[in-house]
Amino acid sequence: MLHELLIGYDPAEDRIHVAMRSRELGVEVTHRLALTRRVCMHFLPGLQELVRRSAQVPEAMSASARQALIEGHHQAQLQQTTFQRERRQKSPAGESPARLALRAVCGTRRSDGQSVVRFEFSSGEPLAVVIGERSLHALAAGLGDRMRRAAWIDERRSALVPAIPGALPVADLH
């Protein structure tokens, strides 16, 4: 399960870099990814849909009440998350280079409903990362913030917005 996340923007490459640390079978593992604008533009709506679903707001409520509860839930989760701002341009010696993701798919694990993000690459196996609720909210907020700072999207689009008609659905993964 993901427990540490670093997100940065490299203007020279025009890519967002994501470093994710997780514990897999008792071993600390770090995955470094490079995300293009195209990948991020398809990834962010899926993350935002997972954030909306995590609030578990009843469908019977009015759209404005649902949105207010979703935003409140999102802010509450972010307040419980420890943020560390770090500016680091290059990876230290010995760290593996970032893998260029060609696609990022958001979904939920069938067995327990946990959020999962699967990254696909030009070669090698896809990377599926199980994301806890706080990490999900941090990833959605951090990615939106970096996309806004890179001028890929405007303020309205980086915030948690209502469902986007025609957005890719969240899939069942695993």
pTM to 2 decimal places: 0.80
For the chain, how many structural domains are there in total? 1
Sign of CA dihedral 165, 166, 172, 174: negative
Structural domain range at position 147? 2-173
pLDDT band at 1; cut points 50, 70, 90: confident
User: 3-class DSSP state for residue 123?
Assistant: coil
Q: Is the pLDDT of residue 89 over 70?
A: no
Q: Which long-range contacts (CB under 8 A, 24 or more apart) does 64-67 make?
A: 67/162
Cβ atoms of 96 and 32 within 8 Å: the answer is: yes
pLDDT in tens, 6-25: 999 999 999 999 999 887 77
Number of helical H runs and strand E runs in the chain: 4, 8
Within its chain, how far is the Cα of 170 from the centroid?
13
pLDDT digits (tens, 9 = 90+) for 38-84: 999 999 999 989 988 888 888 888 888 888 888 888 888 878 876 55
CA separation for the pair 168, 68 (Å, rounded)? 23
